[in-house]
Structures are given as structure tokens and as C-alpha cells.
Amino acid sequence: MKPEISYDYTPRHSRAEQLEALGRILDTLDILRVHCPWDAKQTNESLRPNTIEETYELAQALLEGKDDEIRKELGDVLLHVLFYSRIGDEKGSFDIADVADALNAKLIFRHPHVFGETHVDDAHEVEQNWEQIKLKEKDGNRSILAGVPAALPALVKAFRVQEKAANAGFDWEEPADVWAKVREEIGEVQEAVESGKAEDIEAEFGDLLFSVINAARLYKVNPENALERTNRKFIKRFNHIEEAAKAQGRLLKDLSLEEMEALWQEAKKL
């Protein structure tokens, strides 16, 4: 049941129109599940790779900030949510109503500062409360870090692990304190490189990356977003070098390092 709390918000479409739109896609999915050979044969396992791909495409659209692309990719992700719910319904386990009700109950339970008597002063306190609330959901039998999916990419996993540990109180007192750790890890990488032991070099690079990710978190920077922006910047500038070489009738490997650097600086100005 929805709590009786007032809110000032006028959606683009009325609630009835929103529900009608969701009803239409559910009807379409029901038809496809019966009449389309491809849709009919899908399982949780067969859909999983596509779900991962669609999630990354949504992440890309969000980075680019193009509303039309975000809308399209959200639709693709929504389709997968509805599809898994339909498969669950066929197995007699759950349907989209169960999914929505469970989500609604979880949101209310995890926001006692809105739906209960808990007081918070800022978003950071909300995050700290979340970790304790999540433990209560599991009767305290689940560790704080157990909620981080093992299959996450390493960079994202490191950020989430650090974030959860920080919300439990395990964090630097001041953001600036982290730089001593970063410098320490750089020194240990250099020592490992000088030793020539591949295993030690890999381990120390891992520690260095972990500390840099931690620094980004402390300064309110999402390292995944930051690195992806740098990736795209590098690709754009490198493509400029490649196109410039082609315009001269040369291959990239024919350019000297000095020529490449000059073109790189030119790309930066552009």
C-alpha cells in the first residue's frame, strides 16, 4: 500500500496513461511469446548476454547525454525486465506485479527518513543508513560486502566495495589523506618493476589502481565515467592522427613519434 505522503510532481503523462502504456507492451510481449519463434524459445540463460549488452548500451547513452538515445535504450532494458517477469510467471514463480510490489516495499523500507521517523541531514547519512538497513533485511547474516556482485568489472567492483566499506565507517577522515597512500603505492610499483618479478608487479599495479579509484571516490568522481570519458577523448585524438596520415598518403606506422606528437597536439587544440 502506498503511504499517504504528499508530493508535488506533474508527470509528462498521467498515471493512467503511464499504466496504459505499460499494459500495451505487456500485451505485445504476451503475443510475441506465443507467436514469434524467437521470442517463444528464449530463457533466462539465453537472454542474459543480451541483457548485459543492453545495459552497457544504456550506460553509453547516459554518458553521451542524448535524451532520444536514453529513451530508446531504457525501452530495451525495460523489455528485458518484462521478459524475465513473463518467464517467471510461466514457471509459477512470480510476475511483473510481484516484481513491482517487492521493489516498492524495499524502497519504503530503505527510506525510513521519508516513510518513517528516522532523521538524516544529508545524502551521505542516507547512504550510511542503507548499509545497515540492508543487513537488517538479511537478519544480520550477510556481510556488508556480500552485496557487491562477483561478476562486476574490476573497476566498478573496486568502487562499490570502497563505497560500501565507507558507508560502514571504514574510510579516510579527510579526502586529502588518501594522497599519501597513492604515493606509497606508486613507490611500491616502482620497486616491484625494479625487482622484475611479474607477480609482484601485477599485485602492486592492482594496489595502485585501487588507491586511485579510492581517491576518485573521495573527491566525488565516478572513476568508471571518468575513465570512459578519457577513453573517448583518446580515441578521438588518435583517430585524428590516423586521418591526418591518410590525408598525406601515408600509413600510421610511417610517421615518426615527433610527427605523431605534433598531430596529437593539433587534435587537442581542435
Is the confidence at residue 73, as pLDDT, over 80?
yes
pLDDT of res. 3? 56
Closest by alpha carbon to 29, among 101, 92, 85, 103?
85
The pair phi, psi for residue 104, each rounded to 5°, is -60, -45
Cell of residue 95, nine digits: 510476475
Query: Is the pLDDT assigned to residue 133 strictly greater than 90?
Result: no
Burial class of residue 105 (count of CB atoms within 10 Å of its CB; 0-12, 13-18, 19+): exposed
Read off the pLDDT of residues 21-68 as tens digits, 9 standing for 90 and up: 999 999 999 999 999 999 999 999 999 999 999 999 999 899 889 999
Q: Going by CATH, does the domain composed of 18-98 fall within 1.10.150.120?
A: no
pLDDT in tens, 143-165: 788 878 888 899 999 999 999 89
> How far from 49 is each of 32, 43, 46, 53, CA to CA, in Å?
20, 11, 7, 6
**What class, spelled out in words, does domain 145-223 have in CATH?**
mainly alpha
DSSP single-letter state for residue 94: -
Say what the pLDDT of residue 44 is: 96
Q: Give the pLDDT of residue 124.
A: 73
At 9 the pLDDT is 81
Band of pLDDT at residue 261, cut at 50, 70 and 90? very high
> Residue 1: pLDDT band by 50, 70, 90 thresholds?
very low
Tell whether the torsion through CA atoms of 157, 161, 167 and 172 is positive or negative: negative
Q: pLDDT category, 99, cuts 50, 70, 90?
A: very high
Residue 134 reports pLDDT greater than 80: no
Q: What is the pTM of this model?
A: 0.65
CA-based Rg of the chain, rounded to a whole angstrom? 25
Mean pLDDT across the chain: 91
Quote the pLDDT of residue 127.
Answer: 73
> What percentage of the chain carries pLDDT values higher than 90?
71
Check whether 140 has a pLDDT greater than 60: no
The pLDDT score that the predictor gives to residue 137 is 65
pLDDT tens, residue by residue, 176-234: 999 999 999 999 999 999 999 999 999 999 999 999 999 999 999 999 989 999 999 99
The angle at the Cα of 253, spanning 202 to 198, to the nearest 5 degrees, equals 10
Amino acid making up residue 62: L
